[in-house]
Chain A
Amino acid sequence: MSNTILEIDNLETHYGKIHALRGISFTVREGQIVALLGANGAGKSTTLRAISGLIRSTSGAIRYMGDDITRTPAHDIVKKGLIHVPEGRKIFKGMTITENLELGSFTLEDDAERKRRMDHVFEIFPILYERRTRDSAFLSGGEQQMLAMGRSMMTNPKLLLLDEPSMGLAPFLVQQIMKIVLRLNKEGVTILLVEQNAKVALKLADHGYVLETGEIVIRGDAKTLQQDESIVKAYLGE
């Protein structure tokens, strides 16, 4: 068994009076793809936001590579190689693709390394290279998702938190994005994938967790989850 890279221990968060996460615990091992599934409002995005430090958890602990990062500010978590690709891509419209990618390497001072990483991103996403001087506002949804992922690759991540990369994309593009997720994983990036599209996510994942109203209701092997008809019907739809 490989090492545990991320360990969530009894994590709770509140948005004002709303109890968003009611004590969830799970682990992600190095080199894995782990899927976090569930319906709208189940707490999937909240979990990711808590891990990356964008929101503060009220209790519980988040351990990353052995360090407690529960109270670490977001910008310091990034430096440790734990990168969050937020929901809705959040690319910088009005800036070119190259400028967007440069943001990803903001914490990096070494220009040669920046160029090396950018070349790598362009190799994974040739379409971004073709359009590198264009305003990112004119990209399609799939291209924007690629840009958001490419930008996170600029930080040289160890653990990538992907929030609904398939959202709003045509099936063909979803397949393409998932192929890239798989490729990044093969290159050594551990991936925590949040998805509503459970079928797609479970195909890639090693492990799956199903969230419902802030609690983990089902956990298990991705293969098992995929085959369990009742689970798929009850929690994942279709």
Chain B
Amino acid sequence: MVPSTNTTSTDTSGQENPGGLSGWLQPQKNRMFILMTLAATAMFIPLVSNNYGLEVMTNVWFYVVLCLGLNIVVGYAGLLDLGYAAFFAVGAYTTGILTSQFGVNFWLTIPVAVCVSACAGFIIGGPTLRLRSDYLAIVTLGFGEIVRLIARNLEITGGASGLIGIERPSIFGFELSQIVHFYYVFLFLAILACFVSYRLQHSRLGRAWQYVREDEDAAEAMGINRVAVKLYAYVIGAIFGGVAGCFFAAKMTAISPETFMFQQSVLILLGVVLGGMGKIPGVIIGAFALVLFPEVFRDLGSMRMLVFAIVMLIIMLYRPEGIWPAKKS
């Protein structure tokens, strides 16, 4: 009568998974409680924080979305992508061009950006399906640069100086203009991204990604459409980046090609790897580390990137699987 939520239908022994750092998170109730507490804390940050703190935290939520998007490609499907900033650029420029040059309402640009970035994901995914590791990294890197250079050289994208005067979005006549508004917008996006990631991870597609990541041949021999599964990863990952880009453009009201440099792609990838590939909490922690470290070390001036790099090396030496490693069975 009671439907089992457990997909492993044969395992009726109900064995607890004792070990692992995340073992204590196992009971569903406990986990829900922790998530609610975290969400509530995030909600109340604007009440106690100054504008600087809000700006930093907004940035954190923004990178959470980007890192979760890249995590689908890198963490779930196991495809290295060094050009992820390209999708973020596609979203940002779609919104930028449509609002500033054609006067389209911001909200209407989102579905367009979703389509355009999905197409971009398809374009990069299609030809690279047969490539693995290093080769894939090179091609995606090239793709990222191509998108940036196109943005730099076209007239419609404003060339090297970029686009300015991007319309601020409004909800029911209320214009989103202050940092606190964007804080909530990006918090909402981050929560949405977590939810979508979680559902994807536990879907049929999520399992197919896992199998393809572990062994393509065996997965294919068992009836998984390798090509479709990989393309889905690129397309869905691209949509995450594209949507984040839309809101980024709206928040900044100005974008330029230099925002989408190779360094940006590396930074996002860093967040994914640093926190722990394929794990949502890990990726969130990675995004936090990415944004907060340079802020914490701001007093060091130009030395801070050096310190940041050293801290990352130490983390990778002592936690090669990321800050939040996979549970061991």
Number of interchain pairs (Cβ within 8 Å): 85
Contact A98 B218 (CB under 8 A): no
Chain A contacts with B in 79-114, Cβ cutoff 8 A: 79, 83-86, 90-96, 98-99, 102-104, 106-107, 111, 114
Contact B226 A118 (CB under 8 A): no
Is B27 interfacial (CB 8 A cutoff)?
no
| C-alpha spacing A104/B224, complex, angstroms | 10
| C-alpha spacing A83/B13, complex, angstroms | 31
Q: Given contacts A73-B225, A78-B222, A90-B217, are A98 and B8 in contact (CB under 8 A)?
A: yes
B77 to chain A, nearest CB (A): 15
Q: How many residues of A contact B (CB 8 A)?
A: 39
A49 to chain B, nearest CB (A): 8
Q: How many residues of B contact A (CB 8 A)?
A: 27
Among B223, B226, B329, point to the contact of A134 (Cβ < 8 A): B329
Contact A106 B223 (CB under 8 A): yes
Complex contacts, A152 vs chain B, CB 8 Å: 222
Contact B7 A54 (CB under 8 A): no
Q: Given contacts A73-B225, A75-B225, are A54 and B220 in contact (CB under 8 A)?
A: yes
- Residues in A lying within 8 Å of B, measured CB to CB: 52-54, 73-75, 78-79, 83-86, 90-96, 98-99, 102-104, 106-107, 111, 114-115, 118-119, 122, 132-135, 151-152, 155
**A-B interface, 8 closest residue pairs, ranked by CB to CB distance from nearest:** A78-B223, A90-B218, A75-B225, A107-B223, A84-B221, A74-B220, A92-B214, A135-B329
16 further A-B contacts with Cβ under 8 Å, apart from A107-B223, A132-B11, A155-B223, are A74-B220, A83-B221, A86-B218, A90-B217, A91-B218, A92-B214, A96-B329, A99-B8, A102-B7, A103-B211, A106-B223, A111-B9, A118-B10, A133-B11, A134-B329, A152-B222
- Residues in B lying within 8 Å of A, measured CB to CB: 7-11, 13, 15, 204, 207-208, 210-211, 214-215, 217-227, 326, 329
